[in-house]
């Protein structure tokens, strides 16, 4: 045998037979054991399949690359476009099966872009159903109508497409009615808020700074501002209603009574406050409660009983609000002021204090409409006035901290009245006020007062 024949014999597989090869376009044939597929045979088949996939992918890439360089309208370009269209159809159907409706809609839009001819009518129906379930009603109606137009009465889903178009129109009409109702409601809300703002601006103009009353012993009474009549929500009720209370016009001091103003009263009358007479001191709400026998008990009691309106803190000045006063102390001061000026001064009642707090604000009037109060802040983007937000942020409401003279902690409200962060105030109903609402009775280191009189 010559050399060429020997090489040919070696290159020929020993166990090749029809069906034993993978079908790969090659002169080689992978040998299999005669009569059965051994362990190696499965590996050979898997390798052959992988090679086949690689060859097909390479062919597709080459086809697309050739199409990119080919002249528009050539067979290569048309073939590549058809392959891309088929891929998008497969993706569209797969996304529907996976219930990824938004991605299915995106695949359909891309399919429309690359389609060289008309899209099969069945795809229009599938797209209509997918858009309807995804809430894309306008696109769903358009595709349903397109299916009916393309498929005609002989279409497999003709009646279903008609029913779907009716459902979509009903939903669109309902959505339009809801939109119009929301617009009307929003217009009413805006009109409501505008009316409140107009009322608030009117009250701001009606609030008048009054001249200070002169006193017989010299000096002047606290600065006052006259407020117009108004209404307050005395007590919220069930069903979004309020127990309304009318408040006649009156005047109220622009700030809490100061140490200097209270000292003038004490010196003129030689008055001793409740805490000084009874040696009870004034209550500190954040003070640690110690019982007899506890370490530090005696020292805490001595410090507790030494506190009076004069010894709250070394930082206290004449312009700070006076604190550590009882309800009786506040009324005695108001009676003395009445005697000195010839006008009747009192500690403001709860509704007077509440009206002074909210006068000239839209939020004050919103409180008269509890059903709209929550929506104003959460749905309408309404905000509390700056002075109110300042009081909300005040630290240690239950523990008086000297933040400075009156007017230094928070800005005035729209009618020019100052409220101090962290300061609670007596009202004429023997409660405390720090924001609209009464509290309980007790002498505290964060408790002061102001005065009111008839306008």
Looking at residue 276, its pLDDT comes to 83
What does the block give as tokens for 100? Answer: 């990824």
Give the span between the Cα atoms of 213 and 340, in whole angstroms.
9
| Confidence (pLDDT) at 405 | 84
Q: What is the pLDDT of residue 146?
A: 92
* Burial environment of residue 48 by CB neighbours within 10 A (0 to 12, 13 to 18, 19 or more): middle
Let me know whether 149 and 237 are in one domain. no
Percentage helix, strand, coil for the chain under 3-state DSSP, each rounded to 5:
50, 10, 40
pLDDT of residue 326: 87
In a domain, 395, yes or no: yes
Paired with 150 in beta bridges are none
Whole-angstrom distance, CA of residue 291 vs CA of residue 136: 71
Is 305 inside any structural domain?
Answer: yes
Q: What is the pLDDT of residue 434?
A: 45
Q: Which residues pair with 432 in a beta bridge?
A: 426
User: Contact, 258 vs 320, CB < 8 A?
Assistant: yes
What pLDDT does 188 receive?
Answer: 84
Same domain, residue pair 74 and 214? no
pLDDT at site 173: 94
CATH of residue 247's domain is 3.90.1580
Name the residue range of residue 64's domain. Answer: 40-171
One domain, residues 51 and 121: yes
| 240 and 160 together in one domain | no
Q: Count CB neighbours of 177 within 10 A.
A: 10
In a domain, 185, yes or no: no
Which of 120, 143, 171 corresponds to the end of one domain? 171
Helix (H) or strand (E) holding 181: helix 158-206
Residue 94 lies in a domain: yes
Q: Is the dihedral of CA 38, 40, 44, 47 positive or negative?
A: positive
pLDDT in tens, the chain (455 residues): 443 444 344 334 333 333 333 333 333 333 333 344 444 554 554 555 455 455 445 555 555 554 455 455 555 556 777 888 889 999 999 999 999 999 999 999 998 888 866 889 899 999 999 999 999 999 999 999 999 999 999 999 999 999 999 999 999 999 999 999 999 988 887 888 788 888 889 989 999 999 999 999 899 999 999 999 988 877 766 665 677 788 999 999 999 999 999 999 999 999 999 878 876 667 654 444 444 455 554 555 555 556 788 877 767 889 999 988 888 899 999 999 999 999 999 999 988 998 998 888 887 666 556 566 555 555 555 667 888 777 776 644 444 455 678 888 788 999 999 988 778 888 876 544 544 333 334 566 678 899 999 87
Could you tell me the end-to-end alpha-carbon distance of the chain, in angstroms, rounded to an integer? Answer: 136
For residue 362, the model assigns a pLDDT of 80
188 in a structural domain? no
d(CA 420, CA 225): 17
> Do residues 226 and 152 share a domain?
no
Answer yes or no: is 137 within a domain: yes
Residue 335 lies in a domain: yes
| Together in a domain, 79 and 225 | no
Rounded to whole angstroms, the Cα distance separating 292 from 450 reads: 37
Q: Does 292 lie in the same domain as 391?
A: yes
Same domain, residue pair 352 and 233: yes
Same-domain pairing of 164 and 230 = no
Distance CA 167, CA 188 (A): 32
CATH number where 159 lies: 1.25.40
Domain presence at residue 5:
no
Count of H helices and E strands in the chain? 15, 10
Entry pTM: 0.60
Hey, what are 69's tokens?
Answer: 């360089």
- Our count of domains for the chain comes to 2
210 forms beta bridges with: 224
């Amino acid at each position: 045998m010559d050399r060429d024949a020997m090489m040919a014999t070696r290159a020929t597989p020993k166990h090749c037979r029809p069906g034993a090869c993978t079908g790969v376009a090659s002169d080689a044939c992978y040998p299999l054991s005669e009569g059965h597929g051994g362990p190696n045979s499965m590996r050979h088949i898997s390798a052959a399949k992988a090679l086949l996939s690689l060859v097909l992918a390479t062919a597709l890439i080459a086809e697309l690359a050739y199409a990119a360089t080919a002249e528009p309208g050539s067979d290569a370009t048309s073939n590549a476009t058809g392959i891309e269209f088929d891929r998008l159809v497969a993706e569209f159907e797969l996304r529907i099966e996976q219930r990824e409706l938004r991605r299915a809609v995106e695949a359909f839009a891309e399919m429309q872009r690359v389609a060289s001819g008309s899209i099969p009518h069945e795809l229009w129906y599938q797209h209509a159903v997918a858009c309807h379930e995804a809430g894309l009603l306008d696109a769903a109606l358009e595709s349903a109508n397109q299916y009916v137009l393309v498929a005609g009465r002989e279409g497999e889903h003709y009646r279903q497409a008609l029913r779907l178009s009716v459902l979509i129109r009903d939903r669109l009409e309902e959505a339009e009615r809801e939109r119009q109702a929301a617009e009307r409601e929003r217009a009413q809300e805006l009109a409501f808020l505008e009316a409140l703002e107009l009322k608030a601006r009117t009250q701001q103009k009606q609030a008048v700074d009054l001249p200070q009353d002169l006193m017989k012993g010299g000096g002047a009474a606290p600065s006052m501002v006259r407020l117009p009549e108004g209404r307050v929500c005395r007590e919220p009720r069930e069903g979004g209603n309020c127990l309304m209370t009318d408040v006649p016009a009156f005047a109220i001091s622009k700030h809490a009574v100061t140490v200097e103003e209270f000292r003038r009263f004490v010196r003129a009358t030689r008055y001793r406050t409740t805490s000084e007479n009874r040696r009870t001191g004034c209550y500190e709400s954040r003070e640690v409660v110690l019982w007899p026998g506890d370490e530090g008990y005696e020292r805490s009691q001595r410090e507790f009983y030494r506190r009076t309106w004069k010894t709250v803190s070394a930082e206290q000045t004449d312009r700070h609000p006076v604190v550590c006063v009882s309800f009786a102390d506040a009324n005695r001061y108001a009676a003395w002021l009445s005697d000195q000026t010839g006008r009747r001064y009192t500690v403001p009642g709860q509704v007077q204090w509440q009206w002074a707090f909210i006068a000239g604000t839209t939020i004050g009037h919103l409180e008269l409409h509890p059903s709209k109060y929550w929506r104003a802040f959460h749905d309408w983007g309404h905000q509390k006035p700056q002075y109110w937000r300042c009081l909300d942020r005040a630290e240690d409401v239950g523990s008086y901290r000297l933040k400075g003279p009156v007017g230094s902690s928070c800005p005035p409200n729209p009618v020019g009245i100052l409220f101090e962060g962290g300061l609670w105030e007596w009202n004429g109903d023997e409660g405390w006020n720090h924001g609209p609402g009464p509290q309980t009775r007790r002498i505290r280191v964060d408790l002061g007062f102001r005065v009111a009189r008839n306008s």
